[in-house]
C-alpha cells in the first residue's frame, strides 16, 4: 500500500507541533496589528477586503489556509497556494497621496506579511510558555520559507532563521507608520461586529485575547501606534496566562473546531502523527 502523504512539513517538523498550539489564535491577531503598520500592505487590505462585513469569515479562511498548508496533503497545500496567488494577481491598491497604483502581489509586500506573521507565531508561542530551543526557533523560521513559496515568494530571499528575521525588521522599520487605514484595522480588532446575543462574549473573551495580542507587539510598534508599550514582563505574564487557559481546553475539543485539519492529518497518517510539544524534546537522529 502506498504510504500516506505527510504534506509539505510532516509530523516531525517544528511547524507541525507549533501550529497545533491554541495560542496561535492570539498570534494571528498580533500579526494583524503588526501587518497594519505597513502603509502599502494595509491599504491593499482596506481597499480590497470585506473584512468589516465578513470579519469572522476572513479570520476562518486565513486559519483554514494555514491549517491546509501545515496539515494537508502536498496537493492540497499547492492548490491552496495557487488559489491565494491567483487572488493576489487580480488585486491592486492606490496610494491616495500620489495616485500610484500597485499590485498586492508585490514581493516586498508579500515578504512583509510573511515576516510579520511568522514573527508573531514564534514570539507568542515562546513567550506564552511553549518549549522551543533557539535551534528549533531557527528551524521553524527556515521551514516557513516553504509557506512563503506558496504565496509567491522566492524562498532564497526569505529569512531562514531568527537572526535574519530580526535584521529584516531593522531594515523595514523606516517604511512603517500608523495611518488612517491602520487605525481602522485596530478599531475593528478591538471590537469586531458580532450579533447582539454575542456581545457579552465579545466583552469577556475577545477583548482579553485581542488585548493580549496587542500587548505582545514589539515596543517600536507601540511607539508607531502612539501609545506607551507595556513592560516586557507584564506582556509576558498576560501571554503565559493565555497559554495556560487555552492549553487547558482538551485537544480533541479544540481540534474539532473549524477548520479541523489536525484530526484530518491524524486520520490520514495515524496516531503517531499527533502534534505535541513532547516531540520536540526527542533527540534527533544524526543526518
How far is residue 272's CA from residue 143's CA, in Å, rounded to a whole number?
21
Alpha helix (H) ranges present in 19-73?
24-35, 39-48, 55-71
How far is residue 139's CA from residue 70's CA, in Å, rounded to a whole number?
15
pLDDT value of position 56: 65
How far is residue 232's CA from residue 166's CA, in Å, rounded to a whole number?
17
Length of the chain: 287
How far is residue 176's CA from residue 55's CA, in Å, rounded to a whole number?
24
Domain boundaries, the chain: 14-274
Identify the residue whose cell numbers are 462574549.
Answer: 201
CB 5 within 8 A of CB 73: yes
Identify the residue whose cell numbers are 518549549.
Answer: 131
pLDDT means over runs of 10, the chain (287 residues):
82 97 95 96 85 66 92 97 94 90 95 98 98 97 98 98 98 97 88 65 78 97 96 98 95 81 94 92 51
Q: Helix, strand or coil for residue 90?
A: helix
Amino acid at each position: 500500500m502506498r504510504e500516506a502523504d505527510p504534506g509539505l512539513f510532516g509530523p516531525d517538523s517544528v511547524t507541525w507541533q507549533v501550529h497545533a498550539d491554541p495560542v496561535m489564535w492570539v498570534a494571528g491577531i498580533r500579526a494583524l496589528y503588526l501587518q497594519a503598520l505597513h502603509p502599502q500592505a494595509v491599504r491593499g487590505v482596506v481597499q480590497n477586503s470585506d473584512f468589516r462585513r465578513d470579519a469572522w469569515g476572513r479570520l476562518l479562511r486565513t486559519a483554514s489556509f494555514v491549517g491546509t498548508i501545515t496539515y494537508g496533503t502536498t496537493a492540497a497545500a499547492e492548490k491552496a497556494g495557487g488559489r491565494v496567488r491567483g487572488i493576489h494577481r487580480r488585486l491592486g491598491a492606490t496610494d491616495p497621496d500620489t495616485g500610484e497604483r500597485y499590485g498586492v502581489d508585490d514581493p516586498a509586500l508579500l515578504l512583509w506579511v510573511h515576516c510579520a506573521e511568522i514573527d508573531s507565531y514564534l514570539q507568542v508561542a515562546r513567550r506564552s510558555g511553549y518549549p522551543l530551543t533557539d535551534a528549533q526557533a531557527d528551524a521553524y523560521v527556515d521551514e516557513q520559507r516553504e509557506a512563503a513559496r506558496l504565496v509567491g515568494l522566492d524562498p532564497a530571499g526569505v529569512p531562514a532563521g531568527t537572526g535574519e528575521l530580526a535584521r529584516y525588521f531593522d531594515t523595514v522599520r523606516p517604511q512603517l507608520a500608523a495611518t488612517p487605514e491602520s487605525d481602522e484595522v485596530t478599531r475593528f480588532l478591538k471590537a469586531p461586529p458580532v450579533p447582539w446575543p454575542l456581545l457579552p462574549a465579545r466583552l469577556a473573551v475577545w477583548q482579553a485575547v485581542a488585548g493580549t495580542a496587542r500587548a505582545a507587539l514589539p515596543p517600536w510598534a507601540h511607539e508607531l501606534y502612539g501609545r506607551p508599550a507595556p513592560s516586557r514582563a507584564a506582556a509576558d505574564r498576560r501571554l503565559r496566562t493565555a497559554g495556560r487557559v487555552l492549553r487547558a481546553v482538551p485537544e480533541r475539543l479544540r481540534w474539532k473546531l473549524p477548520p479541523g485539519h489536525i484530526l484530518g492529518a491524524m486520520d490520514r497518517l495515524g496516531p503517531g502523527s499527533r502534534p505535541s510539544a513532547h516531540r520536540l524534546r526527542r533527540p534527533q537522529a544524526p543526518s
